[in-house]
Amino acid sequence: MNGNDPELGVGDTNVPAVGAFTNSKNISMSKSTVNVVKGDQNNFVSSEFNSKIVQEWLNATDSSSKYATACNKMTEDQSSSQVAGIEDPQIQVPVGPEDTGIWLLKDTRFGQWKDNGNLFWLEGKAGSGKTFLCTNIIKTLKEKHQEVFYHYFDTLGGSRAKVTHGGLVASLLEEIGMHPSYDQKVLKDLFENNQKGNKKISVSVMQGVLLSLVSNCSEHTYIILDAMDECQEPDEVSKFIQILLGIGNVYVVVSSRNPMPKFLEQPWVTLKLSLDEEETMEDIINI
């Protein structure tokens, strides 16, 4: 990446200083109050730079509603879900909300992936419960305070960004770039140096910044991608996954109706699980 690329804004020294406020609590300026939070000065969010604004700038989708819907269906039975008006034909309802899906979390292959990383590919036909299982993985990792990020490919979502490589990259960049465990200043500088979000940036630039953020984080990064068979650019996404895996501290789960691409099949680092096997199907409801 070119260190002087004006789109990236690398090397630009015209960055608002925050060090002067390090030891201050509340500073009044023209009837306004500046609340300064102590801590890493690289990680801050201003009123002109927040998740909503960044999502609009990057054209990033918000997968949190899909995650919340799936979580609701994990804790409610079918009748209560319908009464609450929670309807999503792509999310399978568990038979028993407390027990269903535990088999995957206890499976030795899942434990191997969680501890050693790389790629875990969940393959299953329509209705095999892939979205529910991915959501269960996300929920479990969140409860263990892991850095977990996710994207639900969704042809019914009404947005092209939900089914493309660029949409995936934008979504992950917004999530990771705004997360306190990563250097938030990187994304903020990119925002500032592209006319405060008025100038769009290319997918290649977004991907480069995303890979840099993940590479420079000392923690493991877990990325869960559900329903990749609904992605309209599977080859580009598969190549992106291959690059992510090359970083070393990135652990990826993919669910899909389709088998894993051959070039991702690396026996020493890749795990596969077919949800169409008889023993796993006993634990999933088909609708």
Q: If you count them, how many residues does the chain have?
A: 287
Q: Which of 141, 121, 116 is nearest to 228 (CA)?
A: 121
Cut 0.75: pTM above it: no
Q: CA 220 to CA 115: how far, in whole Å?
A: 10
pLDDT by residue for the chain (287 residues), tens digit each? Answer: 444 454 554 444 343 333 333 343 443 333 333 333 334 444 544 557 889 999 999 999 998 888 888 888 877 644 444 444 444 555 544 444 334 567 788 888 888 898 887 899 999 988 888 888 999 999 999 999 999 999 999 998 778 999 999 999 999 999 999 999 999 999 999 999 999 889 999 999 999 999 999 999 988 999 999 999 999 999 999 999 999 999 988 999 999 999 999 888 876 677 888 887 634 433 433 32
DSSP letters for 159-190: -GGGSSHHHHHHHHHHHHHTSTTS-HHHHHHH
49-281 is a CATH 1.10.1740.10 domain: no
